[in-house]
Amino acid sequence: MTELFAFKLLRPEEWTEWRESGVFTGAPVDRTDGYIHLSARDRVRETAAKWFTDVDPLFLVMIDLAALGDTVRWEPSRGGALFPHVYGPIPRAAIAGSSRLRLGDAGAHIFPAGF
């Protein structure tokens, strides 16, 4: 894949832990599966709607994939779509940006303008 960035959705306590520790070793589901789940830009809304409907606020973290080198593998998941999986920790230095998402009146997270 030629994507430069991927996205991680985090609960507030996960985002706080990452910022404080300087390294992300995964959410509980990531640790269970043996890799950190990320989403490509065109899939992250679907991921939020599928797994995070009850989380408000939710944090959207943009990850610079080049900073992770060969720990990133694009592997098939939902419906055969390729998702970036990270086999190793993600350092804070790989964060290219973040946004706080709130639930809108329709029950979906509101993403930044232009996303």
Give the tens place of pLDDT for each residue, 49-105: 999 999 999 999 999 999 999 999 999 986 888 999 999 999 999 999 999 999 999
According to DSSP, residue 67 is labeled G
3-state secondary structure of 109: strand
More confident of the two residues 115 and 21: 21
Its pTM stands at 0.94
Query: How far is the C-alpha of 36 from the C-alpha of 84, rounded, in Å?
Result: 9
CA triple 51-90-23, angle to 5 deg: 100
2 pLDDT higher than 80: no
Domains of the chain: 5-106 (3.20.170.20)
> Residue 5: CB partners within 8 Å, gap ≥ 6?
41, 62, 63, 64, 65, 96
